[in-house]
């Protein structure tokens, strides 16, 4: 089974330099990926972007989509991969680009995938990474971070190489980012209502719950089941309160 690169999109959050956007477009095109999203920073010099992209990736540059917020940009994706040079307990377990790509071959058959990269100076924040089911770190010797376009090239290269992986069964249609976010909002409200979450830091515990569900590749119908359970818990609590005022 080959990686379905038609379902893969590069997402750049807040890039600082137009040259890096152009270089990222060229890297993506060279590795067989033809879609690019830029989040924020709509003031980049278009000519500088085109110069670095060259004529090879002209079509990628001309079809760049722009969004103001990350949640809007990622709403239509079923699987989101975040890239980071920094590691820590708040950023989740990380994998190498190769392992990430191998794991996405089956998922890419019927699901849209976003490869998310942060700004050149700060990278993705912990809040950005909450959208991601997979977090990737590029192994380096010495200085941990690499140039934005270099990171795009490495990750895209591994996606291309993964096309030669062994035959796998396609992964069914997964829940999209917006569906998952709605589920987490509802789940957080229910868990707060029943006293499960620490009221002093509920987001810390929700981060671990997000990681738990991220490992299960939730399908859309499974999200509906979980939300149905939440609604039933809410109904039961309201019914009991009315019955025993």
What pLDDT, on a 0 to 100 scale, did the predictor assign at position 165?
A: 57
Q: Token pair of 155, please?
A: 């990750």
Cα distances from 106 to residues 67, 70, 173, in angstroms, run 28, 25, 11
Cα–Cα distance measured from residue 213 to residue 219, given in angstroms and rounded to the nearest whole number: 11
Q: Is the pLDDT of residue 143 over 90?
A: no
Query: Around 184, how many Cα atoms within 13 Å sit in the side-chain half-sphere?
Result: 22
Give the chain's mean pLDDT.
88
What pLDDT, on a 0 to 100 scale, did the predictor assign at position 166?
A: 54
More confident residue, 15 or 2: 15
Q: Which residue has the tokens 């569906």?
A: 179
Q: Which CATH code is given to the segment(s) 5-164?
A: 3.40.1280.10
Task: Give me the helices (H) in the chain, please.
Answer: 18-30, 46-53, 58-62, 70-74, 97-104, 126-129, 148-161, 177-193, 202-214, 220-243
What pLDDT, on a 0 to 100 scale, did the predictor assign at position 24?
A: 96
Q: Token pair of 198, please?
A: 């620490």
What pLDDT, on a 0 to 100 scale, did the predictor assign at position 220?
A: 86
Count, in order, helices (H) and strands (E) of the chain: 10, 6
Domain spans in the chain, listed from the N-terminal domain onward:
5-164, 177-243
- The predicted-structure confidence for 28-82, as pLDDT tens digits, reads as follows 999 999 999 999 888 889 999 999 999 989 999 999 999 999 999 999 999 999 9
Partner residues linked to 136 by β-bridges? 83, 95
Q: Mark residue 54 as left, alpha or beta (left: phi above 0; alpha: psi -120 to 50; beta: remaining).
A: left
- The predicted-structure confidence for 96-111, as pLDDT tens digits, reads as follows 999 999 899 989 999 9
What pLDDT, on a 0 to 100 scale, did the predictor assign at position 174?
A: 84
What pLDDT, on a 0 to 100 scale, did the predictor assign at position 216?
A: 79
* Predicted confidence band of residue 19 (pLDDT cuts 50, 70, 90): very high
Q: Is the pLDDT of residue 156 over 90?
A: yes
What pLDDT, on a 0 to 100 scale, did the predictor assign at position 141?
A: 83
Do you know the residue count of the chain? 245
> Quick check: helix, strand or coil at residue 113?
strand
* Predicted confidence band of residue 25 (pLDDT cuts 50, 70, 90): very high
Question: Could you give the percent of the chain with pLDDT greater than 70?
Answer: 93
Architecture of domain 177-243: Orthogonal Bundle (1.10)
* Predicted confidence band of residue 225 (pLDDT cuts 50, 70, 90): very high
Full-model pTM: 0.71
Cα distances from 71 to residues 34, 115, 215, in angstroms, run 21, 14, 20
* Predicted confidence band of residue 245 (pLDDT cuts 50, 70, 90): low
- The predicted-structure confidence for 157-187, as pLDDT tens digits, reads as follows 999 988 765 555 667 788 888 899 999 999 9
- 60 Cβ neighbours under 8 A, 6+ residues apart: 25, 26, 28, 29, 34, 35, 36, 53
- The predicted-structure confidence for 109-122, as pLDDT tens digits, reads as follows 999 999 999 998 88
Burial 160-174 (b: 16+ CB within 10 A, else e): bebeebeeeeebeeb
Q: Mark residue 117 as left, alpha or beta (left: phi above 0; alpha: psi -120 to 50; beta: remaining).
A: beta
Say if CB 65 and CB 99 are below 8 A apart.
no
């Amino acid at each position: 089974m080959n990686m379905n690169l038609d379902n893969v999109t590069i997402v750049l959050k807040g890039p600082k330099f137009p040259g890096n956007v152009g270089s990222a477009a060229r890297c993506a095109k060279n590795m067989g990926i033809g879609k690019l999203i830029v989040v924020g920073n709509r003031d980049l010099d278009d000519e500088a972007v085109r110069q670095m992209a060259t004529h090879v990736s002209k079509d990628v540059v001309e079809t760049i989509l722009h969004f103001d917020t990350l949640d809007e940009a990622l709403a239509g994706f079923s699987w989101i991969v975040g890239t980071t040079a920094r590691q820590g307990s708040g950023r989740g377990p990380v994998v190498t680009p190769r392992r990430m790509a191998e794991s996405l071959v089956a998922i890419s058959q019927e699901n849209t995938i976003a490869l998310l990269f942060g700004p050149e100076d700060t990278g993705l924040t912990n809040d950005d990474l909450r959208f991601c089911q997979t977090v990737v770190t590029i192994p380096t010797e010495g200085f941990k971070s690499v140039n934005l376009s270099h990171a795009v090239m490495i990750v895209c290269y591994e996606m291309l190489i993964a096309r030669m992986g062994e035959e796998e069964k396609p992964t069914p249609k997964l829940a999209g980012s917006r569906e998952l976010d709605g589920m987490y909002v509802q789940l957080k409200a229910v868990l707060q209502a029943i006293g499960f979450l620490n009221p002093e830091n509920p987001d810390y515990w929700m981060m671990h719950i997000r990681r738990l569900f991220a490992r299960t590749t939730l399908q859309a119908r499974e999200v509906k089941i979980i939300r149905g359970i939440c609604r039933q818990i809410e109904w039961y609590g309201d019914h009991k309160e009315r019955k025993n005022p």
